[in-house]
A and B are shown apart, each in its own frame.
Chain A
Amino acid sequence: MITFEGITVRYRANVDPAVNGVSLAAADGGITALVGPNGSGKSTIVRALLGREPLEAGRIFVNDLDRSVLKQREFARLVAVVPQREEAVFPLEVGEYVALGRHPYSRGLTNSPLDAAAVERAVDRAEISGLLRRRTDELSGGEWQRVRVARALAQDTRMLVLDEPTTFLDIAHEMSLLELIHSLAAGGMAVLMVSHQLNLMARFASRMVLLSRGRVVVDGAPSAVMEAGILESVYDWPIAISRDTASGAPVLMPLRKK
């Protein structure tokens, strides 16, 4: 469980904070989707969790531990984060890359058999055993995202944070990645996922947190967020909500401007 308690992050003094008194929690056993327009503070929350942005106010808890007293290595043994940006300037073999997930546990110069077992489990779980000998710069977008999730799984954590993992993926790759993430959550992990795909989040997430200008607008079940009036004012665009006949999930349709 990851809990944010009234956090405020400000990039520069005298400018409105990027995140302003946000409280939210990502509970075990489900996906908590962090949604909202560009610049609403989603990625800033992830960066604050990573320790890349100092908190002006508020606190972050990882289970019951205060994030600010956790060493970075300790944090990485509890929470696996797949950040939005990652350039493979110097490509690695996929197997080598996934093994970097063991870095928070590394001691000295050698790998332990425990590491090998964790990497193998992660590779199986993410179903990437066919990619192990490929180079990270030779992967398709969908393969690369799966490999990054495998690297996070090798960290052997109970909490997983993903920042827009399905950007640029086609339907099949997007859906199979979301099914994988969903099955991880169903297995008990606490998953916090930043996404622009409201329709898919409404189907996969157990909870959605809608942000606008650094503040939480709605925090609740997907049906609470998927309200035409709320979304229209947050996204500043006409929107219609219908229901998927098969699952009953709310479906958003942006309308043409008259």
Chain B
Amino acid sequence: MIAPRAWHWLAALALLLLAGLAGLVFGATTISIGEIASALGGTGDETTITIVRSLRAPRVALAAMVGAALAMSGAALQGVLRNPLAEPYLLGVSGGAAVGAVLAFGMGMQNTGSLAIPAFAGAIAAVAAALLVARAAGRTARGDPRTLLMAGVIIGAFANAVIMVALANATSDTLRGSLWWMMGSVADASWVGALWLGLYVGIAGVVLLAFAREIDVLALGEEAAAALGSNVELATRRIFLVSALLAGATVAAAGLVGFVGLIVPHIVRALGVRRHRRLVAGSALIGATLVILADVVARTALPPSELPLGAVTALIGVPFFLFQLARSR
């Protein structure tokens, strides 16, 4: 067993910075590190400055926020539900958020910051529906991990159908078509969008870190948590709300990006992190790194076209999910 030490955190941070650099270097055209440095400083070729400052840098920032948010949300949901397969996308939380965002978008709401609110409402509705189904199926809402998951997957499928119907007549010239929402993308990232998401992620992340001990205790099970002084229902609801806010804000900014919330907490646990304060913080770092790199793959794998970000994360995530499912009891 490896004990998490200071150098692990430094290594994770270094990895994140390297991924960010890769996000600036690679794309339709490769830009050298020297050119990036001068472009960031405002000198050099005008086109390069525009690409680096207005296209790639906000894109990297948005991808980092998306990854951090989804991974933190997944870490919290897995702990509270005591379910190693839980994550916002598979639980239908992201799907519900997408419905909320798409409906608001269809009614003319365009700004990422305000779209996050209907997305949050959709996320809450989805998580409530999944929990109600699971509760009806078993004596406790968290009986069999697979019941909740099945409910979530079906709610997600329903959400996809609603989005397709809602966007059936959407103009195809906008990048925010149904594919954008359903497969996720950070391709049209702007600084405004990235900063909005950063605001939500920052606040929700701090709240989640403050709740981390509560998650440690809830992860022991309902009775043990109550025995340790946890107000189980209240604490669970609070953590669900924050996780749904993270997922909802992400969906408003970048559509549906699956499996990040599943994979990342497992990676961090495999590094020897067990308590949730470190798990949530570590997941934010690794999640940001993973999504930046997934986005680099998305824009460079099959030139000249770009892959949807959600397709890349699903290609990594599905085998991982199946592996975890085979291991689960």
Query: Residues of B contacting A86 with CB < 8 Å?
Result: 220-221, 223-224
A258 within 8 Å of B (CB atoms)? no
A120 within 8 Å of B (CB atoms)? no
Query: Residues of B contacting A96 with CB < 8 Å?
Result: 274-275
| Nearest CB of B to A179, in Å | 23
Check if B229 sits within 8 Å of A52, measured CB to CB.
Answer: no
Check if A100 sits within 8 Å of B229, measured CB to CB.
Answer: no
Known: A52-B223, A96-B274, A100-B217. A89 touches B84 (CB 8 A): yes
Check if B217 sits within 8 Å of A72, measured CB to CB.
Answer: no
Query: Residues of B contacting A135 with CB < 8 Å?
Result: 1
Known: A52-B222, A89-B83, A90-B84. A100 touches B274 (CB 8 A): no
Check if B220 sits within 8 Å of A100, measured CB to CB.
Answer: yes
B interface with A by C-beta (< 8 Å): 1, 78-79, 82-84, 209-210, 213, 216-217, 219-224, 226-232, 269, 274-275, 277
Known: A85-B221, A103-B217, A106-B213. A90 touches B227 (CB 8 A): no
In the assembled complex, the Cα of A140 lies from the Cα of B227 at a distance in Å of 23
Check if A92 sits within 8 Å of B217, measured CB to CB.
Answer: no
Check if A75 sits within 8 Å of B220, measured CB to CB.
Answer: no
Q: Which residues of A in the span 63-101 have a Cβ within 8 Å of any Cβ on B? A: 71-77, 80-93, 96, 100-101
Query: Residues of B contacting A85 with CB < 8 Å?
Result: 221, 223
Known: A72-B229, A76-B229. A91 touches B274 (CB 8 A): yes
Indicate which residue in A50, A82, A89 contacts B219 across the interface (CB closer than 8 Å): A89
A6 within 8 Å of B (CB atoms)? no
Query: Residues of B contacting A71 with CB < 8 Å?
Result: 231
Indicate which residue in B209, B216, B220, B223 contacts A84 across the interface (CB closer than 8 Å): B223
| Nearest CB of A to B205, in Å | 14
Check if B228 sits within 8 Å of A76, measured CB to CB.
Answer: yes
In the assembled complex, the Cα of A115 lies from the Cα of B231 at a distance in Å of 21
| Nearest CB of B to A119, in Å | 13
A47 within 8 Å of B (CB atoms)? yes
In the assembled complex, the Cα of A135 lies from the Cα of B274 at a distance in Å of 10
Query: Residues of B contacting A101 with CB < 8 Å?
Result: 228
In the assembled complex, the Cα of A89 lies from the Cα of B221 at a distance in Å of 9
A13 within 8 Å of B (CB atoms)? no
Query: Residues of A contacting B230 with CB < 8 Å?
Result: 72, 103
A interface with B by C-beta (< 8 Å): 47, 50-52, 71-77, 80-93, 96, 100-101, 103-104, 106, 109, 133, 135, 152, 155
| CB nearest to B219 among chain A residues | A90
Check if B227 sits within 8 Å of A82, measured CB to CB.
Answer: yes
Check if A47 sits within 8 Å of B82, measured CB to CB.
Answer: no
| CB nearest to A134 among chain B residues | B1
In the assembled complex, the Cα of A96 lies from the Cα of B231 at a distance in Å of 21
| Nearest CB of A to B72, in Å | 16
Check if A77 sits within 8 Å of B229, measured CB to CB.
Answer: yes
Query: Residues of B contacting A76 with CB < 8 Å?
Result: 227-229
Interface centre among A85, A87, A91, A155 (most CB of B within 10 A): A87
In the assembled complex, the Cα of A100 lies from the Cα of B227 at a distance in Å of 11
Check if B231 sits within 8 Å of A72, measured CB to CB.
Answer: yes
Query: Residues of A contacting B213 with CB < 8 Å?
Result: 103, 106
Query: Residues of B contacting A50 with CB < 8 Å?
Result: 223, 226-227
In the assembled complex, the Cα of A106 lies from the Cα of B224 at a distance in Å of 16
Check if A83 sits within 8 Å of B224, measured CB to CB.
Answer: yes
| CB nearest to A75 among chain B residues | B229
Indicate which residue in A83, A87, A93 contacts B274 across the interface (CB closer than 8 Å): A93
Check if A73 sits within 8 Å of B227, measured CB to CB.
Answer: no
Known: A52-B226, A72-B226, A155-B228. 12 other contacts (CB 8 A): A72-B229, A72-B230, A72-B231, A75-B229, A76-B227, A77-B229, A87-B221, A92-B216, A93-B1, A100-B216, A104-B228, A106-B213
| Nearest CB of B to A148, in Å | 8
Indicate which residue in A81, A109, A133, A155 contacts B277 across the interface (CB closer than 8 Å): A109
| Nearest CB of A to B134, in Å | 16
Check if B79 sits within 8 Å of A90, measured CB to CB.
Answer: yes
Check if B82 sits within 8 Å of A90, measured CB to CB.
Answer: yes
Check if A47 sits within 8 Å of B223, measured CB to CB.
Answer: yes
| Nearest CB of A to B214, in Å | 8
| CB nearest to A135 among chain B residues | B1
| CB nearest to B215 among chain A residues | A90
Check if A104 sits within 8 Å of B229, measured CB to CB.
Answer: yes
Query: Residues of B contacting A133 with CB < 8 Å?
Result: 1
In the assembled complex, the Cα of A92 lies from the Cα of B1 at a distance in Å of 11
In the assembled complex, the Cα of A152 lies from the Cα of B84 at a distance in Å of 26
Known: A83-B223, A85-B221, A100-B220. A90 touches B229 (CB 8 A): no
Interface centre among B1, B83, B84 (most CB of A within 10 A): B1
Interface centre among B220, B222, B227 (most CB of A within 10 A): B227
